[in-house]
A and B are shown apart, each in its own frame.
Chain A
Amino acid sequence: MMTFARRRLRNLTLALIGGLLILASDWIARGALMQTAYISGWAMLVLMLLLAAYNVRKKLSVIPLFSSSAWLQVHVYAGVVSVMVFVVHIGYVMPNGGLEILLGALYVGVAASGLVGLVLTRTLPPRINSRGENVIFERIGPIRRQLRERAEVLALESVNAGNVTAISQLYQDRLLRFFAGPQNLWSHLGQSTRRRQALLDEIDALRRYVKESDRESLTQIAELVCLKDDLDYRHACQCALKGWLFVHIPLTYGLLMVMVVHIVVVYAFSGGAR
């Protein structure tokens, strides 16, 4: 069975070869005074429709039209080829007309967000798995609530048992806000554990001031803090995995609409050269 790395190398090689063939064909055809912008333009349209069809395919999952994984492979490498076609289409120079700048910017936005998404989908899932149990995004809220309630119970028990307010004060000052909702989004995306460790250090420093029986409570609270931090980490990663599509898909639809206007304008004002 072909490994993922091997498959990626094969597909990337094929995509690059295809792109280079397109570049070479354009170079040859330009020399022969062919209006290559029309050819590459239609190629771009076909590629855009193919790329956008992946989104449609995911929505129409009942249709047995290849697996989503296969579609994703086509989507990724067609995107790579489209970058080369785009470069050919704009003639290796920056567009400087209003409509063309808009169109070019939309394409660059779509391509860039797609590239970011590709990187995120290739790097974040392993990171999520490396931090313990994988949690469904929709279940993060209830689990966070459970952790908060357990921490509250521990804080209250310490007060009731020993009439000591150190743990409850810690909870009041530091942990209440921590357990209230997702924390440290950017720190987690940056894989920073500094805040988590700082909180654990605070809990550990409190040990010497409490009774032996309360130290067990602090240990449990520290475990809950770690669980909550891992949960926040997963939440941050899953937000990133879902967030890039908030850029990629809207830009794609905008690109398709501006593309239609572009085609109309190009043919109406072709100057007879087609």
Chain B
Amino acid sequence: MTVQNFEHDRSAYDRPNQKWICGWAADGGECRLGPDVQGRCRTTHECQPVRKGDRWMCTRPTIAGGRCEAGPLPDGTCCRAILKCQPVRSVRSNRGAMVSGFAVLTIGFLAVLIGGPWRGAFVSPGQLSTTHAQLENDCSRCHSAADAGLVGVLQASLQPPAATTESGNCLQCHSIGASYGSPHSLPRPALDVLVQKAHGREQPLSMPLRASLGAAVAPNLARSDEIACAVCHAEHQGRLFDLKRMDSMSCQSCHQQKFHSFSRGHPQFSAEYPTTRRTRIAFNHSTHYSLHFQDEGWAGDCLSCHQPDSNGARMVLGGFETSCGSCHHHRRQIAGAGLSEPSVLVLGLPAVDIEALDAHGLWIGDAPWPADANLGDEMALSPFMRLLLWSEPAVARDLTLLDETNASLLDLSDADDRAIEAAGRLVWAIKLLIHDLLTDDGAALTQRLIAALGSDMTDAQLAALIGEPADISYGDHQTWRHNLRRLQETWLSDLPDEAPQYRANPDLLYSGRLPLAQAADLPSSDGTATPAQDEPADDDLLGEDEGDDLLSNEDELFGDEGDEESGQEDDLLGDDDDLLGDSGQDVPDQPTEDPAQPEAAEAQRQLEALRLSLLESGGWFLDEANFAVRYRPIGHADPFLRAWLDLTSSPPSSIDASAMHAVFDTLRRDKAPGRCVRCHSVDAIDDGQSAGFRVNWHGARPALGQRPFTTFAHRPHFNFQQFRDCTACHSIRTIDSTAVQDWKRTYGGANAGSYAASFDSMSLAQCAGCHTPSGAGDGCLTCHNYHVGSFAQPLTPPYRGAIARVGDGSKRSSGRPINGSDAMDGGMKP
């Protein structure tokens, strides 16, 4: 049965696109006219009658039933009125209204959430990781636009902050150096060196397709110096998200040498791996392991000396007491061996060719200069004294002149007049130095050291340099000042008078052996008269009272000798010629016992025993045989020797460091006092700012914040029984005499990279057995760090304000070039 008709006179004209439809349409009784555009019913009757002549005619169309039987009313109104309807929206109109309503709802919803206090939480793409969770409600810590308001956010979206700006927010807490935007946080020059090195390597036969295609389509980040932190560290991924997670393929997008996995294509370890340098402490593992430990019945293992650090990564060498002292403490192989320990000449009177000076009419004082002063192997002038003298430019010139003319203070017979005069001035400079060191409270020494070293120093450094560290207690007679005063009183007794006169009138040098009274009348170089000998200023400093005070202190130290005259001290310490000889092997003479005074003799013996005991403990003493003040190391890790070795090993390039080099060379000798460098190797360094040496006082230690390219966690490997024996990986080489000689020779120089390894190198295959994707993992970051260099520990937000932003010229740290010095002790790479 057909239910709908489509003839023009049988079916209505549908208008589905109209906004309003008749309210009776749902019941099938819609009118023909329909509502107006405003949705108002406009129909009153079924037709609009028309008048033909004097009659009204019905105009109802056929579709609505045709002409009605009753016809229009007399007044022309249709007789069939239509009940008014309430028009309704069409389906299309309803849908449009719903779209508009939903759009308004969406806008309102967004306006409420973005304009209200929930904005941060709403726009946040997710929770921060646990390490940043405390920043959850403070977007501005990381996002520059967060505090800019809605308009600012819109502007920021059109001109997003630069990568450097946004990364700078990260750097407020994470300091990775000035090159933070470069690959591996390395300065471009250092990076270029590594790139060149990598280009020399052999390329693998096959490369992973993904990495190859990635390198082809992706921008080359390797050439960018503005890599934003967010490129790799995507935050807002949830509390447990690992911000450091990185796809191994990402590494290969920059690296030219691409490979499939650790076991397939990874470059082989270097032929020396993991050894990259000699050990910092000269310790031959081969000989100790195969010879000494066997002889000594050593029952320990590698862990007796090496223990993992706090992170379980590096194996750190223990201290001297735990690692070396158990075998070496009783042998005279280290400093602190008592009277047999060599001492170092610090301050003294050099031997001078007095006759030559006299022949040239040069006056160096009335008191006789010790004719055979310091004829030992230290020659004319101790390097320490030369360093202190070097601080005065005039004296430095004289020293240079003597060096250039090969003139020796001891023999000036072949020297020319200029050299002889320089020698005379040098003698006076020595006397003035001694005078200055004694006439103030260390200020002269400090000033001269600062001038000579070219840098300021702390009180602790100064105390170590003068052999008087605060944590070690000395008797007065063990101080350099006490012994220097005794030297002055013994051989330069007129120095308190002569020094001021010479300083006021250096022309006194040319006065020959004129009586001092006559010389005082000579005009000074500036035309003024030389001050009289008994100037009151000097009396205040070096008068009898002060000497008495010093001796009175000595009296207190030596107890029973409190009533002795001051000269007694000279007697007590005056017969040490043999004892304090340079060889250090001589046996001291026994004090003479006076049978007539047994009590005094007993006191003398006790005093002598005490003196020897104190001498044996090390420190400063007067070497009367050589007219010098010397220092004997007090034991292992002697602070005086260490301070001087550290200070003079790497002088700043801004100063003439020849005097510092002389000190360093003296202390660096194989048989130098303390013999520090026999075990503590010396490395040549050149970091661009200074060139010199570094004494390795410790084995390699993990520096705080130091991140090398390659890392290795030892402790997790100890969980496996087979790896608890370190030799499972680090097999010790067998030795022969040649190998031992090679090993010794490596420690003669300062090249840390020249060494004879005690261990066989490791191969990639040793690791690849376990480090597979399904095993122990073979991601790049398992063994490699991306950010390399020296980094400070991340700061917590409260300290943020105290840290200057990167780029304002107050950088906290800078990227440090990576070199072989980062390898760990034992010659193992970290």
Q: At the interface with chain B, which of A41-49, A111-119, A189-197, A243-251?
A: A243-251
Contact check, A30 vs B247: say whether CB atoms are below 8 A apart.
Answer: yes
Q: At the interface with chain A, which of B50-58, B137-145, B368-376?
A: B137-145
Please report which residues of chain B, range 20-47, place their CB below 8 angstroms from some CB of chain A when the two chains form the complex: 21, 25-30
Contacts A242-B91, A249-B99, A258-B110 given; indicate if A34 touches B230 (C-beta within 8 A): no
B517 at interface (Cβ–Cβ under 8 A)?
A: no
Name the CB-closest residue of A to B127.
A96
A186 at interface (Cβ–Cβ under 8 A)?
A: no
**Cα-based distance from A133 to B2 in the complex (angstroms):** 7
Contact check, B14 vs A268: say whether CB atoms are below 8 A apart.
Answer: no
Max count, chain A CB within 10 A of own CB: residue among B99, B118, B139, B156: B99
Contact check, A96 vs B238: say whether CB atoms are below 8 A apart.
Answer: yes
**Cα-based distance from A145 to B28 in the complex (angstroms):** 5
**B120-143: contact bitstring with A at CB < 8 Å (1 yes, 0 no)?**
011111110000000000010011
Contact check, B95 vs A254: say whether CB atoms are below 8 A apart.
Answer: no
Contacts A264-B153, A274-B160 given; indicate if A31 touches B231 (C-beta within 8 A): no
B795 at interface (Cβ–Cβ under 8 A)?
A: no
B396 at interface (Cβ–Cβ under 8 A)?
A: no
A35 at interface (Cβ–Cβ under 8 A)?
A: yes
B3 at interface (Cβ–Cβ under 8 A)?
A: yes
B166 at interface (Cβ–Cβ under 8 A)?
A: yes
In the assembled complex, the CB of B182 is this many whole angstroms from the nearest CB of chain A, namely: 14
**Chain A residues within an 8 Å CB radius of B1:** 223, 227
Contact check, A139 vs B103: say whether CB atoms are below 8 A apart.
Answer: no
Contact check, A250 vs B103: say whether CB atoms are below 8 A apart.
Answer: yes
Contacts A95-B125, A98-B123 given; indicate if A267 touches B156 (C-beta within 8 A): yes
**Chain A residues within an 8 Å CB radius of B237:** 93
Contact check, B165 vs A272: say whether CB atoms are below 8 A apart.
Answer: yes
A32 at interface (Cβ–Cβ under 8 A)?
A: yes
Q: At the interface with chain A, which of B216-224, B287-295, B606-614?
A: B216-224
In the assembled complex, the CB of A104 is this many whole angstroms from the nearest CB of chain B, namely: 11
Contacts A227-B3, A231-B3 given; indicate if A97 touches B110 (C-beta within 8 A): no
Partner of B164, one of A99, A253, A254, A272: A272
A181 at interface (Cβ–Cβ under 8 A)?
A: yes
In the assembled complex, the CB of B799 is this many whole angstroms from the nearest CB of chain A, namely: 22
Contact check, B153 vs A181: say whether CB atoms are below 8 A apart.
Answer: no
**Cα-based distance from A254 to B91 in the complex (angstroms):** 20
Name the CB-closest residue of A to B120.
A98
**Cα-based distance from A99 to B12 in the complex (angstroms):** 50
Contact check, B27 vs A141: say whether CB atoms are below 8 A apart.
Answer: yes
**A124-167: contact bitstring with B at CB < 8 Å (1 yes, 0 no)?**
00000000010111110111111110000000000000000000
Contacts A265-B123, A265-B153 given; indicate if A254 touches B228 (C-beta within 8 A): no
Interface residues of B: mostly helix, strand, loop or mixed? helix
**Cα-based distance from A253 to B1 in the complex (angstroms):** 44
Contacts A33-B218, A133-B2 given; indicate if A99 touches B103 (C-beta within 8 A): no
Contact check, B228 vs A273: say whether CB atoms are below 8 A apart.
Answer: yes
**Chain A residues within an 8 Å CB radius of B715:** none
Contacts A138-B16, A139-B4 given; indicate if A33 touches B232 (C-beta within 8 A): yes
In the assembled complex, the CB of B253 is this many whole angstroms from the nearest CB of chain A, namely: 4
Number of A-B residue pairs at CB separation under 8 A: 194
**Cα-based distance from A142 to B228 in the complex (angstroms):** 69
In the assembled complex, the CB of B359 is this many whole angstroms from the nearest CB of chain A, namely: 80
In the assembled complex, the CB of B638 is this many whole angstroms from the nearest CB of chain A, namely: 53
Name the CB-closest residue of B to A142.
B28
Contacts A138-B14, A139-B4, A254-B106 given; indicate if A270 touches B166 (C-beta within 8 A): yes
What bracket does the count of chain B residues touching chain A fall in? 35 or more
A17 at interface (Cβ–Cβ under 8 A)?
A: no
Contact check, A33 vs B14: say whether CB atoms are below 8 A apart.
Answer: no
Partner of A97, one of B28, B125, B215, B228: B125
A9 at interface (Cβ–Cβ under 8 A)?
A: no
Contact check, B4 vs A135: say whether CB atoms are below 8 A apart.
Answer: yes
**Chain B residues within an 8 Å CB radius of A53:** none
B161 at interface (Cβ–Cβ under 8 A)?
A: yes
**B536-564: contact bitstring with A at CB < 8 Å (1 yes, 0 no)?**
00000000000000000000000000000
Name the CB-closest residue of B to A135.
B4
Contact check, A265 vs B157: say whether CB atoms are below 8 A apart.
Answer: yes
**Cα-based distance from A263 to B158 in the complex (angstroms):** 10
B729 at interface (Cβ–Cβ under 8 A)?
A: no
In the assembled complex, the CB of B488 is this many whole angstroms from the nearest CB of chain A, namely: 69
Partner of A95, one of B123, B126, B153: B126
Contact check, B106 vs A133: say whether CB atoms are below 8 A apart.
Answer: no
**Chain B residues within an 8 Å CB radius of A249:** 95, 98-99
Contacts A31-B249, A97-B123, A98-B123 given; indicate if A146 touches B103 (C-beta within 8 A): no
In the assembled complex, the CB of B156 is this many whole angstroms from the nearest CB of chain A, namely: 4
In the assembled complex, the CB of A201 is this many whole angstroms from the nearest CB of chain B, namely: 21
**Cα-based distance from A195 to B759 in the complex (angstroms):** 92
Contacts A227-B1, A250-B102, A271-B143 given; indicate if A136 touches B14 (C-beta within 8 A): yes
Contact check, B157 vs A272: say whether CB atoms are below 8 A apart.
Answer: no
Contacts A141-B26, A258-B106 given; indicate if A28 touches B213 (C-beta within 8 A): yes
Partner of A250, one of B98, B123, B164: B98
**A18-48: contact bitstring with B at CB < 8 Å (1 yes, 0 no)?**
0000000101111111110000000000000
**Chain B residues within an 8 Å CB radius of A258:** 106, 110
**Chain A residues within an 8 Å CB radius of B101:** 250
Please report which residues of chain B, range 660-712, place their CB below 8 angstroms from some CB of chain A when the two chains form the complex: none
Partner of A29, one of B2, B127, B217: B217
Contact check, A139 vs B12: say whether CB atoms are below 8 A apart.
Answer: yes
Please list the 10 inter-chain residue pairs (A to B) with the smallest Cβ-Cβ separation, ordered nearest first.
Answer: A145-B28, A32-B214, A32-B218, A272-B228, A272-B163, A271-B230, A272-B166, A31-B249, A250-B102, A273-B230
25 contacts between A and B (CB under 8 A): A31-B249, A31-B253, A32-B211, A32-B217, A32-B218, A33-B221, A34-B219, A97-B122, A98-B121, A139-B12, A141-B26, A141-B28, A223-B1, A231-B3, A253-B103, A254-B106, A257-B103, A263-B157, A265-B153, A267-B157, A268-B160, A272-B161, A272-B162, A273-B166, A273-B230
| Beyond A33-B221, A97-B236, A269-B145, 15 additional pairs, beta carbon < 8 A | A27-B210, A28-B213, A35-B231, A95-B126, A96-B126, A97-B124, A98-B118, A99-B125, A136-B14, A137-B16, A147-B3, A250-B102, A261-B110, A269-B139, A271-B230
**Chain B positions near chain A (C-beta within 8 angstroms):** 1-4, 11-12, 14, 16, 21, 25-30, 91, 94-95, 98-99, 101-103, 105-107, 110, 113-114, 118, 121-127, 139, 142-143, 145-146, 153-154, 156-158, 160-167, 210-211, 213-215, 217-219, 221, 228-232, 234-238, 247, 249-250, 252-253
**Chain A positions near chain B (C-beta within 8 angstroms):** 25, 27-35, 93, 95-100, 133, 135-139, 141-148, 181, 223, 227, 231, 242, 245-246, 249-251, 253-254, 257-258, 261, 263-274
